[in-house]
A and B are shown apart, each in its own frame.
Chain A
Amino acid sequence: MSIATIPFKGTKEQEEKLREVIKKHTGENGAVIPVLHEAQDIYGYLPIEVQKIISEGLNVPLAEIYGIVTFYTQFSLYPKGEYEVSVCLGTACYVKGSGTIIEKIKERLGIDVGQCTADGKFSLNATRCIGACGLAPVMTVNDAVFGQVTPADLDDIFAKYQA
């Protein structure tokens, strides 16, 4: 299954929220990035349908919006899993073995970095430094941070989310 074929399931409520956000920022200098941040909070990602609404609302060409979305790694064109697993590949984590951790997770979930499992449960990211270098190597699942992770810890960590 290709990730791009997941159909857009935006609701009326989401669209209303987005239009409010656009209204709030209209006329503001440099509004596109703040609006994209808030839109991603609403929808979880930024599919072309959402970009179109923003383009029309802010009167900025769609090509420009798309250019901005694809430039910044925080913005995603694809939906994320229910649990977003991120492994830090910052220097401090890397020298302490986070490269092995991410390989083991790839094997475990059967997906590559940037992908989502077929059941929509887990997506995997390699992140840049999250600034918790003192606890290296570090991984996060949604907002929970796990420090000093070893390959042996992965069973326990994933057990929390696999129920």
Chain B
Amino acid sequence: MKSLAELQALRDCTLDKLNLRKDRKEGIRIVVGMATCGIAAGARPVLEALEREVKAQKLDNVMVMQTGCIGMCRLEPIVEVYEPGKEKITYVHMTADKVSKIVSEHIINGRPVAEYSVGTDKAQSVNDTVFYAKQKRVALRNCGVINPENIDEYIAFDGYQALAKALTEMSREDVIQTVKDSGLRGRGGGGFPTGMKWDFTYKAVGDKKYVCCNADEGDPGAFMDRSVLEGDPHAVIEAMAIAGYAVGADQGYIYIRAEYPIAVERLKIAIGQAREYGLLGKDIFGTGFNFDLDIRLGAGAFVCGEETALLTSIEGNRGEPRPRPPFPAVKGLWGKPTLLNNVETYANIAQIILNGADWFASMGTEKSKGTKVFALGGKINNTGLVEIPMGTTLREIIEEIGGGIPNGKKFKAAQTGGPSGGCIPASLIDTPIDYDSLMAIGSMMGSGGLIVMDEDNCMVDIAKFFLEFTVDESCGKCSPCRIGTKRLLEILTKITDGKGTMEDLDKLENLCYAIKSSALCGLGQTAPNPVLSTLRYFRDEYEAHVKDKKCPAHVCKALAQYKINPEKCKGCSLCARQCPVNAISGEIKSPFVIDQDKCIKCGACQSTCKFGAIDKE
């Protein structure tokens, strides 16, 4: 690829060839969502059946393609049909069996099959659902639209135009100023202004500089970056090349979790294609600019999401963090100035360069510009991937986009920021989602996992869950994190076992603040957040565990009590025979009772009772 004209020609040619043009006259395009969730739900046999059927019917004008994440995990596998001049139709919960009907009815006879589509009474597109109405897709613009394994399709959707523009029309300072003016902040969690980071690295003195991408998405419950890499890997590659030009680096590394094999594979394919087209390598667009990329696989260490630990791991060592300053922008990989951004941050860059800083800054709130991708999970109807303008309220996300809580349960809290974040209680459901509002209520944006919890979740148990995670993942380099989090977990376990005292609650809080102020890296400093935020908003639940020895959500096993409902009990004695500690007694044909002192809360009685007479309280 030596010139912009060449890129344009390829773009036009691909639009025609692959039935991608919106105003085209003929040709049908069928796409199958083949990200991890789609494949897990069974998308591969659907894709194969479609390919077979289209071939058998000799439909030369129909293209069957794979694409990345369409976003609605709950409805996978998803197939979408694009016809000229019509709104696309989205088919959900697809199976290979449904394929022949769709091909014969819809593709051949032009009658969309309403019963298989996302619409309730008529066939419709996912774009018409409430789930999509409030979304604005910038980082996810190509996910679920293009085939991620074909660079031509990325180019057809203006791919690599931003790189061409930056290299041929903009100075390095212009690029940095544009990113600064856009107001883009780091999407990995911290929210540091991206343009400033670029500027620091640009100004740092060094004979060699590096550009790195943090794709070590370790927050449990977060899968935004995986979706971008699986659905649109070139967006990251293009942005890293732009960053390389801006800061003066000719080598980049993408550090990605080995747990994401599909994303790794697609990245490898994408890098290979970009090299083949001369979009990576030497003398890009004939400007004399050289840039190349390599992939480094993580090996399952949460701490490697921390920037200094990540760089240490790329260098081939145990991924332990080191104190900052010096910041990576000054002294990073192999001691050289290094720019490090995460996947979603990079995914915004090409759009900012193409559409301008003002366009990007027109979305979002005063201090948080643009959009943010969230992975919506937990107790919510529409689990999936959503991209919303900053400042959207939690209520809009949960009640409208998310479709509310399943089984008529009550919303209790949402957890953002993973093990470094906190809980947002139901009383704060109108909080706008942006960096500063979340920080103010003791949570954080984090990388974008948003886990919804209902009344059946115990908040003490959730805090304990996160601490178990941190204890496991603490790298052990500094003692506040290594020992402190373990002590926190011990106190929490004591409380959930019903052995806690009110004094323990104070101890817990003090220890949290001690760790926050003394741990070495960002992970240690934020590890107490799940405890602090649950203590702040759900102190009554902690007190119920301590004072009343009760778990209000009936989660903590040690505090549960099994009781026999005398009205339902038929006196069959089955439970008494099952009980491993002979805690149940009674006379045949009259209600039995459980001796609470003997009961070990194994639940065997409840699972054997045929009359549903045993309640857990």
Residues of A within 8 A of B (CB): 29-34, 36-37, 64, 67-68, 71-75, 89-92, 94-96, 127-136, 138, 145-147
CB distance from B412 to the nearest CB of A (A): 11
Query: Other than the known A127-B259, A133-B223, A134-B377, what 5 A-B pairs have Cβ atoms closer than 8 Å?
Result: A67-B318, A90-B221, A92-B375, A133-B383, A134-B37
Taking A96-B378, A131-B223, A145-B39 as contacts, is the C-beta distance between A74 and B218 under 8 angstroms?
no
Which of B37, B219, B222, B375 is close to A135, meaning CB atoms less than 8 Å apart?
Answer: B37
In the bound complex, residues from chain A placing their C-beta under 8 Å from that of B136 are none
CB distance from A11 to the nearest CB of B (A): 25
Contact status A134-B383, CB under 8 Å: yes
In the bound complex, residues from chain A placing their C-beta under 8 Å from that of B475 are 71
Taking A68-B318, A71-B301, A92-B378 as contacts, is the C-beta distance between A130 and B465 under 8 angstroms?
no
27 A-B residue pairings within 8 Å (CB atoms): A29-B316, A30-B314, A33-B296, A36-B299, A68-B316, A72-B319, A74-B298, A74-B300, A90-B220, A90-B221, A91-B378, A91-B465, A92-B221, A92-B449, A92-B451, A94-B220, A95-B451, A95-B457, A128-B259, A129-B220, A129-B221, A131-B36, A131-B222, A131-B223, A131-B260, A134-B377, A145-B40
Contact status B258-A91, CB under 8 Å: no
Which of B218, B314, B319, B375 is close to A71, meaning CB atoms less than 8 Å apart?
Answer: B319
Q: How many Å lie between the Cα of A72 and that of B314 in the bound state?
A: 13
In the bound complex, residues from chain B placing their C-beta under 8 Å from that of A135 are 37, 40-41, 73, 76, 383
Residue from the set A64, A71, A94, A131 with the largest chain B CB neighbour count within 10 Å: A131
Taking A90-B220, A133-B383 as contacts, is the C-beta distance between A138 and B40 under 8 angstroms?
yes
CB distance from B142 to the nearest CB of A (A): 19
Q: How many Å lie between the Cα of A146 and that of B40 in the bound state?
A: 7
Q: How many Å lie between the Cα of A43 and that of B319 in the bound state?
A: 24
CB distance from A34 to the nearest CB of B (A): 7
B394: Cβ under 8 A from any A Cβ: no
B529: Cβ under 8 A from any A Cβ: no
Taking A36-B299, A73-B299, A91-B449 as contacts, is the C-beta distance between A132 and B314 under 8 angstroms?
no
In the bound complex, residues from chain A placing their C-beta under 8 Å from that of B299 are 33, 36-37, 72-75
Taking A132-B40, A133-B223, A134-B73 as contacts, is the C-beta distance between A33 and B297 under 8 angstroms?
yes
Within 8 A of A (CB), among B177-229: 217-223, 226
Q: How many Å lie between the Cα of A24 and that of B385 in the bound state?
A: 39
In the bound complex, residues from chain A placing their C-beta under 8 Å from that of B244 are none
Residues of B within 8 A of A (CB): 36-37, 39-41, 72-74, 76, 217-223, 226, 258-260, 296-302, 313-319, 334, 375, 377-379, 383-385, 415, 418, 449, 451, 453, 457, 462, 465-466, 469, 475
Q: How many Å lie between the Cα of A62 and that of B334 in the bound state?
A: 22
Q: How many Å lie between the Cα of A142 and that of B584 in the bound state?
A: 43
Chain B residue with Cβ nearest A38: B297
Q: How many Å lie between the Cα of A125 and that of B582 in the bound state?
A: 34
Chain B residue with Cβ nearest A126: B472
Q: How many Å lie between the Cα of A94 and that of B419 in the bound state?
A: 13
Contact status B36-A128, CB under 8 Å: no
Which of B41, B219, B222, B316 is close to A32, meaning CB atoms less than 8 Å apart?
Answer: B316
Q: How many Å lie between the Cα of A147 and that of B383 in the bound state?
A: 13
In the bound complex, residues from chain B placing their C-beta under 8 Å from that of A33 are 296-297, 299, 313, 316
Q: How many Å lie between the Cα of A127 and that of B261 in the bound state?
A: 15
Contact status A128-B73, CB under 8 Å: no
In the bound complex, residues from chain A placing their C-beta under 8 Å from that of B40 are 132, 135, 138, 145-147
Contact status B296-A34, CB under 8 Å: yes
In the bound complex, residues from chain A placing their C-beta under 8 Å from that of B76 are 134-135
Taking A67-B318, A131-B260 as contacts, is the C-beta distance between A29 and B334 under 8 angstroms?
yes
Q: How many Å lie between the Cα of A95 and that of B383 in the bound state?
A: 13
Contact status B259-A91, CB under 8 Å: no
Chain A residue with Cβ nearest B317: A68
Q: How many Å lie between the Cα of A9 and that of B260 in the bound state?
A: 29
Contact status A91-B383, CB under 8 Å: no
Chain A residue with Cβ nearest B302: A128
Contact status A91-B418, CB under 8 Å: yes
Taking A31-B316, A91-B449, A134-B73 as contacts, is the C-beta distance between A129 and B219 under 8 angstroms?
yes
Q: How many Å lie between the Cα of A71 and that of B321 in the bound state?
A: 13
In the bound complex, residues from chain B placing their C-beta under 8 Å from that of A133 are 73, 221-223, 375, 377, 383, 449
Q: How many Å lie between the Cα of A151 and that of B469 in the bound state?
A: 24
Q: How many Å lie between the Cα of A95 and that of B456 in the bound state?
A: 9
In the bound complex, residues from chain B placing their C-beta under 8 Å from that of A90 are 220-221
Taking A92-B377, A95-B378, A133-B223 as contacts, is the C-beta distance between A128 and B300 under 8 angstroms?
yes
Chain A residue with Cβ nearest B314: A30
In the bound complex, residues from chain A placing their C-beta under 8 Å from that of B217 are 131
Q: How many Å lie between the Cα of A130 and that of B299 in the bound state?
A: 13
Which of B39, B296, B301 is close to A72, meaning CB atoms less than 8 Å apart?
Answer: B301
Chain B residue with Cβ nearest A146: B40
Q: How many Å lie between the Cα of A134 and that of B318 in the bound state?
A: 32
Q: How many Å lie between the Cα of A90 and that of B457 in the bound state?
A: 15
Chain B residue with Cβ nearest A73: B300
Taking A92-B378, A129-B222 as contacts, is the C-beta distance between A71 and B383 under 8 angstroms?
no
CB distance from A157 to the nearest CB of B (A): 13
Contact status B297-A132, CB under 8 Å: no
In the bound complex, residues from chain B placing their C-beta under 8 Å from that of A131 are 36-37, 217, 222-223, 226, 259-260
